[in-house]
Amino acid sequence: MTTAMTGPEFMTADAPTPALLVAEDLVKRFGPTEALRGASVSIQSGEIVAIMGPSGSGKSTLLHCLAGILLSDSGTALFAGRDLRRMSEKERSRLRLSEFGFVFQHGQLVPDLPGEENVALPLLLRGENRRKAIDTAREWLHALDVVEAIGKLPGELSGGQAQRVALARAFAIQPRVIFADEPTGSLDSLSGEAVMELLTAAARDQGTTVIIVTHDARVAAYANREVVVRDGRVTAGMAL
Amino acid sequence: MNVPLALLGLLTVADLHGYDLKQLCDRLLSPGRPVKQGQVYATLHRLERDGNIAVVAVEQEEGPERRRYALTERGRAEVSGWLATPEPAAPHLQSALYAKVIVALLAGFAVDQLIDAQRAAHLWRMRELTATRRSGSLPEVLLADYALFHLEADIRWLDMTAARIAQLEQQVETGLGASGLSRSTTRERMQP
Minimum mean pLDDT range among A10-24, A25-39, B44-58: A10-24
Low pLDDT (below 70) residues in chain B: 182-192
State the distance between the two ends of chain B, measured CA to CA, in whole angstroms. Answer: 21
CATH annotation of B3-84: 1.10.10.10
- Measure the CA–CA gap between B171 and B57, rounded to whole angstroms: 30
- Measure the CA–CA gap between A28 and A16, rounded to whole angstroms: 30
Q: How many CB pairs under 8 A join A and B?
A: 44
- Is residue A206 classed as helix, strand or coil in its secondary structure? helix
Query: How remote is the C-alpha of B98 from its chain's centroid?
Result: 7
A233 vs chain B: nearest CA distance in angstroms?
13
Say which residues have a Cβ less than 8 Å from residue A143's Cβ, sequence separation at least 6: A168, A171, A202
Neighbours of A200 (CB within 10 A): 19
| Overall average pLDDT of the A15-28 stretch | 86
Please say if the pLDDT value at position A22 is more than 50. yes
Nearest to A141 by CA among A122, A111, A163, A123: A163
pLDDT at A30 (0 to 100): 93
Cβ pair A217:B120 closer than 8 A: no
Mark B55-69 as b/e (b = at least 16 C-beta within 10 Å): eeeeeeeeeeeebbb
User: B30 versus A121: which is more confidently predicted?
Assistant: A121
Mean model confidence pLDDT for chain A: 87
Please say if the pLDDT value at position A1 is more than 70. no
pLDDT at A11 (0 to 100): 46
- Measure the CA–CA gap between B12 and B10, rounded to whole angstroms: 5
| Overall average pLDDT of the A192-219 stretch | 91
Cβ pair A216:B163 closer than 8 A: no
Please say if the pLDDT value at position A9 is more than 60. no
Write phi, then psi, for B161 (nearest 5 degrees): -65, -40
Residue B126: list chain A partners with CB under 8 A. 217-218, 220-221
User: Do the Cβ atoms of A182 and A215 come closer than 8 Å?
Assistant: yes
Query: Residue B59: in which H helix or E strand, if any?
Result: strand B53-59
Sequence ranges of chain B with CATH classification 1.10.10.10: 3-84
pLDDT at A5 (0 to 100): 38
Residue A230: list chain B partners with CB under 8 A. 112, 162
Residue A233: list chain B partners with CB under 8 A. none
- In A18-143, at which residue ranges do the beta strands (DSSP E only) sit? 21-30, 33-43, 48-52, 74-79, 82-83, 100-103
pLDDT at A240 (0 to 100): 44
**What is the predicted ipTM?**
0.77
| Overall average pLDDT of the A17-42 stretch | 92
pLDDT band at A239 (very low <50, low <70, confident <90, very high): low
Cβ pair B129:A221 closer than 8 A: yes
